[in-house]
Chain A
Amino acid sequence: MATVEVTFTPLPAHVRTARLVATAVARRSGVDESLLDEVRLAVGEACSRAVEAHQRHCPAEPVQIEMTDSGERFVVVVRDHAPTAAARPDPAAPPGDGTDRNGVGSGGVASEGVGSGSAGSGSAGSDGAGSDGAGADSAGAEGGSAIPAGFGLAVISGLADDVRVLSTSSGVSVQMSWPSTAAPS
């Protein structure tokens, strides 16, 4: 059982909430103060990733985060339920569409489909700004990606010493952990 679970509507506005909760739980779990910025950033990246995936594939489904204080480590799992390209029967979709998002989990960072093709297909986001909304590759909609897809995962890998990405046909889970020390009693 996770120490704290948060489920939220896949909107960019709620990513900050998830960051704040994760940071608070990390602190309580005994994660060193010097690592909290990394927790905040990594969880934010994972949640942003999940939100974008949901907005493209299943905007009515919530994103889940589980935060667990396992004694020696503080573990965060961010789960999305966006089906990976392999399972999606969508022959009309261009080859790069979607795989850059979920395929990153099983492949490498910045796989095919980077930038314009995927960013253009409805990553408009529900924040109503009318601009590209979520995602590091949103700038790619202008033609040529500013930041390749999968960048968020690359950032996460640089922040947590233990990152596992599991990509299944029903979604992707990103697990990250940091060392924690038990609070003195």
Chain B
Amino acid sequence: MDLKLGHYNKDGIEVVDVEGEIDVYTAPRLRELLIDLVNKNNYQLVVNMEKVEFLDSTGLGVLVGGLKRVRAHDGSLDLVCTQERILKIFRITGLTKVFGIHETVDDAIAAKKSEK
């Protein structure tokens, strides 16, 4: 399986664990999951990218799409990522300014709570 997805709720925030490669072939699954979570009224999302081995512009598009969806409900979508190889594509595209990117899931959750 190129992409493994899982999600759980922690402190009222839905955390999505992503493992593997997010590319043109696998990105639709992540997209569907994010849509599904929003449809179930989860508007505070954290996507954990620490086990993502590859991310391309299709994946970025899915994340941006997810961000837009939650923002339509005054929610937020933050990322957890410390891998330089993945952060690189966010930097190249300027998306480091768009997403809150944290070092751990707990950091991301704490940041969301302090925003409220």
Interface residues of A, Cβ cutoff 8 Å to B: 11-13, 15-16, 19, 37, 40-41, 44-45, 48, 51-52, 125, 127, 129, 131-139, 142, 144, 146-147, 151-152, 154-155, 158-159
Contact = CB atoms under 8 A, between A and B. Distances in A.
Interface in B1-57: 2, 21, 23-25, 27-29, 31-32, 54, 56-57
B58 A127 contact: no
Max chain B C-beta neighbours (<10 A), residue from A12, A51, A132, A146: A146
B57 A147 contact: yes
A44 B58 CA distance: 10
A147 B89 CA distance: 14
Nearest to B95: A147
Q: Which applies to chain B's interface (DSSP): helix, strand, loop or mixed?
A: helix
Interface string B52-87: 001011101110110010000000000000000100
Interface of B: 2, 21, 23-25, 27-29, 31-32, 54, 56-58, 60-62, 64-65, 68, 85, 88-89, 92-93
Contact of B32 (A131, A134, A142, A158): A131
Contacts of A152: 56-57
B62 to A, nearest CB: 7
A44 B32 CA distance: 22
Contacts of B25: 11-13, 15-16, 127
